[in-house]
Structure 1
Amino acid sequence: MRLYTFFLLAALCFIQTTEAQNTSKLTLSKDFIEQQLQEASHQIKYLASVTPEDKFPKTFENGQQKFSNSDWWCSGFYPGTLLYLYEGAGDQGLLDLAQQKLKHLEKEKHNTGTHDLGFMLYCSFGNALRLTGDSAAYKEVLLTGANSLASRYHDKPKVIKSWSWGSWNYAVIIDNMMNLEFLTQASHITGNPQYRKIAETHANTTIKNHFREDFSSYHVIDYDEHTGKVLAKKTHQGAFDESAWSRGQGWALYGYTMMYRETKKKAYLRQAQKIADYILSHPNLPADLVPYWDFDKDKISTDSKTYEQRDLRDVSAAALYASALLELAQYTKGTKSTTYFSKAEQLIQNLSSPTYKAAQGENGGYILKHSVGALPLNSEVDVPLTYADYYYIEALVRYKRLLEGDVLVKGL
């Protein structure tokens, strides 16, 4: 009995020590995190004041607001940001603003023409269901939307089709890893494993075809719709086909970290870690960890139309890295975990500095500055972007949960 008591006390001591170690590694203060959330809440209220009722914020460019309709792939980020800020700052008015927007977004649950329904519906209605528990209002929207997304999966290529335009045969972009969480959560809600099975199959096919030996990712893989054969490996928003577009690496990092959380399959954890190591060890990653828009910027020829702008940063990629690395650190052991977590903290701190965070009332009401949408297309170059704000606020809310001893990620 005494021996049992000894081991029990030793185990409790170990657990307490481990918890103390986990807490002690949090170097950002509660006051700092809450200040960022409060300032962001004030800022987004200005954006809300200039946003038409049936439109969604997109960017602020050349002194002008740019809005979208609900069918734009970014439509869910603004209400999602409002919901995260409601969670983090406790302002009921932010929930009210988000719910007003959801009324105009709901019809996209029937949209089978896009792969981006995870961005559009899960970031918005998913957070709304999680925070309010109102199944009657939000469950049907999410499940109808999940079925719309699943309709784009086909057995031969074994992936969810991304684009239905242009000369592509069956284009799949690395961004699509982000929409898989919508399907895994649909399985949680319904108990139907089919949604998760599609997500896993897509993730497995993407590991097989989307990555180079150094674990950098191509942007676009074009498949033969009838045989599943890879026809081409391309880019659409990166510098050139063999370059590592920075935000694309972020989609991959976040996506495989999430897939490990949802399945506990070690292959996804290893993939996420290898992608993180590629990003963090890249010689072109700046000291402040906010990446240039493409990791291979130095290989852009002088006659390229992007040459003069090759040193632009992409804050949207940095925000993705911050949120993903916070989570990946929780699933990783030893010095790697410490590295991932400290880099996430550094990113949060740097993104919260005046270099990247806008002053109150400026930047059109967007929170962060200096993102790049698609430089080769001369689209959204060095502007604020709604998804940069979303993942930055997500990182702040996740960090606040850790400070409060709560779980980092909360599903449905």
Structure 2
Amino acid sequence: MSSPADIRRVAVLGATGSIGTSALDVIARHPQRMRATVLAAGGRVDALLQLCVAHRPEHAVIADPALYPRLRDGLREAGLDTRAHAGDEALQALAAGPDCDTVVAAIVGAAGLGSTLAAARAGKRLLLANKESLVLAGELVMAAVREAGAEIVPIDSEHSAVFQCLRSCRDTGVRRIVLTASGGPFRGRSHASLAEVTPAQAVAHPKWSMGPKISVDSATLMNKGLEVIEAHHLFGLPGSRIDVLVHPQSLVHALVEYVDGSTLAQLGLPDMRTALAVGLGWPERIESGVAGLDLLSQGRLEFEAPDMDAFPCLGLARGAMEAGGTAPAVLNAANEEAVSAFLQGRVGFLAIPALVEDALAALPAAPATSLEALLQADADARRVTRQMIEHRSPGGAPATPPQDARHG
């Protein structure tokens, strides 16, 4: 039996989302090995309270300070000793503090950057699901990891797959890595046919159960573009050595090709708990609750090239990665604003890549010398994109952007 000192103490940031609840499912399967000590959520205070009752963490954090009284009183009424906190400053302090040694970074969007950086600078094991941290500030995050001796174990299924395959030899033998994409709900459709798709259709992912924003990113292939940028930082490879294949069965999560001609693939059912179990247990393998893969029952495995005309977001992401500096921050912020507007019914589906492209053109890449410079680029991109959204029709046809939007 493990002693208290041997138990992994885990902070789950984004606890009420799909990744957070999957992480808690894995943690609960190993009470002798790990415990959720910090749970954090954005605004779903009732869902956070339910998780606190189930997992009894030492700390609970709600991002919105206005909800602090409800969290505090709810914990008290439930008879829990869990301490209530609110706001980003408290979240960062807990991510960096002594009450956790492992941080599941699953807060969606740029909002997760501060806590991710705090955990990295504190030398924690970082189970990274927050793409935007590396897209927005990859150089800063990876520098913090190196300086503090932190450890990143990616828990996106694709990056987890690469992580696992790379452990077969030294990194110097890698020729390229290949990330797979399901193709989303609109695989095979033409660009023109996507003009009238609805938010409900876009979030209906054929293989994965995810939140609305990441589901739309999967439908546009922006998710895969962000993952290419992530892989560039995580594994230290140039974009020319990171490829993407559409694989609709979502059973092969990534492949690594070596200089000797060998290609290793990681396969598994499309369930986030596998990658989370890798991150929580590594270098050991632990039970995740996911069944093994029966290839006979799955039938054939198919692969095809992504359609860059129908789904231009993948190309936009590659271009931002190559431009470097603040370009990935602009890409990410513009995409977040565009997806939010689409989900609200304010713009059409095809407006998403158009708005991102316009924002990148309006805000050319500048050196990313500091976190402040990146956050300013993020803010500028949001302002520009919001202005452009106001000048588009609901169907997504562009109107003439305002002068200040075109030139930042």
TM-score, scaled to structure 2: 0.29
Higher RCO (Cα < 8 Å, 6 or more apart): 1
TM-score, scaled to structure 1: 0.29
**More helix per residue:** 1
